[in-house]
């Protein structure tokens, strides 16, 4: 096993135990770790670091690709092992520590972290922890189910701990496309003109002298846990598909559409599932995460190729993919996230981006990250990279939730991630608002007419009418604009208390 997975003879002496490897960490270090949406993350070294931190003062700044699996973020947070964390997380324990102010969180566009490391804006990394399938003969690292920021971590960390995951077959070689853009000011064009273009190498180059420890694990990725479509997500998906069909009839798109990006979660999955009932064909994806639905569409002969940075699939699909890797290998590629999410490529390819909002407002500003204006949920992830640069930027959310005590369309969002200038289409289970070519007052009326839950329609219309009387290019009643949020905080409902 060792011979097979650690091919360079000179590196075999670096094979060690997790207990030994974890001794390399010191208080105050900055660590870069593989992992993107629970895929390809450290299964043993970071959890061992959390255990060590339970008994001593050991706080690190942790940079990853995106979220980690197996509750690792939560374990680190609970052990007070995190000083700063970036660029994304989805863990409840960590979220609480961030909102309490104990962990400092930098919520960052996923394309940007690598750029900041390259450009030395972020402190140099002391250690990189990178999950791999095996180490190639030339010492380069063959990643597993994600690439994320691992290429940058390997290049810029002073020391590298390699975690070899034996659950990933060595036939994984060839599913990755490892490419890094040149330094400024001499950066070249990234030569991708279609999602299926492969422009780099199959493994991550690393200076073998930096490899400080090699450990083994046989723990698989945390499986993606995606709830099946329900009536609301199915309705949203149907609105989006109808809209695409309309765009084809108008000659704006063809039956092949344009490369799709779909955020993680139920709605994205439901939209992709809906394509199975449609006449669209030869579709492609240029996204950051591939879910079960991607491979179901490939099997159905509807999707021809998918490009992303990570595989966030269920246990069933993980097994199916790796048991039939040869069959799927030519159909998808995993890239570094500063390539999968590069704004220039998203604009060049004309990506259709579908992401989820926590709430949006009368004019189409979108909040993807904060509850009640102050409490972080997950982070912006790649939604900003895609939304800002897409050919079509679509956001979806439920019109109302929690027994309709929350309206997800509000007079003014309590936090802005995507401004009205970056948002083309808004979708709820009620309907779809096409905001392209509309001025703010037209946008507001379109949103009220098409997206708002009936319980809140009159309220929002009244707000808008009164704001218009006061005037302005973007009419608002500033003293009332956030009253729905404050009412929810005070009473548990955004609805005004009925006077008896």
Nearer to ligand COA, 30 or 368 (CB): 368
Site string for ligand COA, 375-404 (x = CB under 6 A): --xx-xxxx-----------------xx--
Please, which residue, 41 or 359, has the CB nearer to ligand COA?
359
* Residues 4/134, Cβ–Cβ less than 8 Å: yes
Q: Which of the ranges 111-119, 137-145, 166-174, 369-377 carries the binding residues for ligand COA, by CB under 6 A?
A: 369-377
| Comparison of 289 and 334: residue with beta carbon closer to ligand COA | 289
**Annotation says 288 is catalytic:** yes
Structure tokens that stand for 179 in this block: 């490419």
Q: Which residues pair with 127 in a beta bridge?
A: 31, 159
Please give the residues from 33 up to 72 whose contact with ligand COA meets the rule CB under 6 A.
none
For ligand COA, the closer CB: 36 or 244? 36
**Closer residue to ligand COA in complex, CB, 338/356:** 356
Q: From the candidates 112, 274, 288, 359, which is the catalytic residue?
A: 288
| Binding residues for ligand COA restricted to 405-424, rule: CB under 6 A | 406
Q: What are phi and psi of 172, to 5 degrees?
A: -65, -20
Per the listing, tokens 């009932």 go with 277
Q: Considering only residues 444 through 483, tell me which ones interact with ligand COA, judged by CB under 6 A.
A: none
State the nearest-atom distance from the C-beta of 173 to ligand COA, in Å.
Answer: 26
| Of positions 372, 450, 459, 486, contacts ligand COA by CB under 6 A | 372
Q: What is the total count of residues that contact ligand COA (CB under 6 A)?
A: 22
263 vs 431, beta carbon nearer ligand COA: 263
Q: How many angstroms separate the CA atoms of 416 and 125, rounded?
A: 31
Q: What CA–CA distance (Å, rounded) separates 425 from 203? A: 39
Q: Which stretch binds ligand COA (CB under 6 A): 205-213, 263-271, 290-298, 461-469?
A: 263-271
Q: How far is the CB of 92 from ligand COA (least distance, A)?
A: 9
Q: Which of 174, 265, 350, 440 binds ligand COA (CB under 6 A)?
A: 265
Cα–Cα distance measured from residue 40 to residue 135, given in angstroms and rounded to the nearest whole number: 15
Contact characters 329-368, ligand COA, x per CB under 6 A: --------------------------xxxxx--------x
Each residue of 11-20: b (16+ CB within 10 Å) or e? Answer: eeebbbebee
CB of 414 to ligand COA, least distance (A): 7
Q: From residue 222, how far is each of 86, 120, 166 by CA, in Å?
A: 20, 32, 15
Q: Which of the ranges 111-119, 222-230, 259-267, 460-468 carries the binding residues for ligand COA, by CB under 6 A?
A: 259-267
Q: Closest distance between ligand COA and the C-beta of residue 417, in Å?
A: 8
Give the nearest distance from C-beta 289 to ligand COA in angstroms. Answer: 5
Q: How far apart (Å, rounded) are the C-alpha atoms in residues 314 and 292?
A: 7
User: By C-beta, is 47 or 382 nearer to ligand COA?
Assistant: 382
Pick from 371, 427, 433, 435: which binds ligand COA (CB under 6 A)? Answer: 371
Nearest residue (CB) to ligand COA, 178 versus 406: 406
Q: How far is the CB of 335 from ligand COA (least distance, A)?
A: 15
Residues binding ligand COA (CB under 6 A): 263-265, 288-289, 355-359, 368, 371-372, 377-378, 380-383, 401-402, 406
As annotated, the active-site residues are 288
């Amino acid at each position: 096993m060792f011979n097979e997975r650690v091919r360079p003879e000179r590196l075999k002496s670096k094979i060690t135990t997790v207990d030994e490897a974890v001794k390399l960490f010191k208080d105050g270090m900055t660590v870069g770790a593989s992992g993107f949406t629970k895929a390809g993350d450290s299964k043993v070294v970071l959890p061992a670091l959390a255990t060590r931190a339970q008994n001593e003062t050991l706080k690190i700044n942790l940079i990853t690709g995106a979220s980690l699996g197996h509750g690792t973020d939560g374990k680190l947070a609970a052990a007070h092992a995190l000083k700063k964390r970036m660029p994304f997380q989805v863990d409840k324990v960590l979220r609480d520590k961030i909102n309490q102010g104990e962990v400092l969180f930098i919520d960052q566009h996923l394309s940007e972290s690598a750029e900041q490391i390259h450009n030395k804006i972020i402190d140099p990394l002391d250690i990189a922890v990178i999950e791999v399938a095996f180490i190639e003969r030339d010492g380069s690292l063959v990643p597993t189910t994600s690439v994320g920021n691992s290429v940058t971590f390997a290049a810029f960390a002073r020391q590298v701990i390699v975690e070899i995951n034996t659950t990933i077959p060595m036939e994984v070689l060839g599913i990755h496309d490892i490419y890094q853009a040149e330094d400024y000011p001499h950066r070249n064009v990234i030569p991708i003109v279609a999602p299926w273009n492969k422009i780099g190498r199959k493994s991550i180059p690393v200076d073998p002298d930096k490899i400080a420890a090699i450990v083994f694990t046989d723990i698989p990725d945390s499986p993606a846990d995606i709830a099946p479509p329900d009536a609301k997500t199915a309705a949203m998906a149907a609105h989006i598909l109808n809209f695409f069909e309309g765009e084809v009839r108008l000659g704006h798109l063809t039956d092949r559409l344009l490369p799709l990006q779909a955020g993680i979660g139920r709605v994205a999955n439901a939209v992709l599932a809906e394509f199975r009932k449609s006449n669209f064909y030869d579709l492609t994806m240029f996204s950051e995460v591939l879910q079960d639905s991607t491979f179901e569409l490939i099997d159905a002969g509807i999707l021809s190729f998918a490009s992303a940075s990570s595989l966030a699939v269920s246990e069933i699909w993980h097994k199916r993919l790796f048991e039939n890797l040869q069959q799927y290998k030519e159909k998808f590629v995993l890239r570094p996230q500063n390539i999968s999410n590069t704004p220039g490529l998203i604009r060049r390819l004309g990506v259709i981006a579908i992401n989820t909002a926590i709430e949006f407002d009368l004019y189409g500003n979108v909040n993807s990250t904060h509850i009640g204006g102050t409490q972080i949920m997950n982070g912006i992830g790649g939604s900003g990279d895609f939304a800002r640069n897409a050919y079509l930027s679509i956001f979806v959310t439920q019109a109302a939730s929690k027994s309709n005590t929350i309206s997800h369309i509000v007079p003014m969002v309590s936090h802005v991630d995507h401004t009205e200038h970056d948002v083309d289409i808004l979708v709820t289970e009620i309907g779809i608002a096409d905001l392209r070519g509309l001025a703010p007052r037209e946008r507001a009326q379109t949103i009220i007419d098409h997206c708002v839950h009936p319980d809140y329609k009159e309220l929002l219309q009244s707000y808008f009418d009164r704001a218009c009387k006061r005037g302005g290019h973007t009419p608002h009643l500033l003293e009332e604009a956030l009253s729905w949020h404050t009412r929810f905080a005070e009473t548990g409902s955004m609805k005004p208390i009925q006077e008896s």
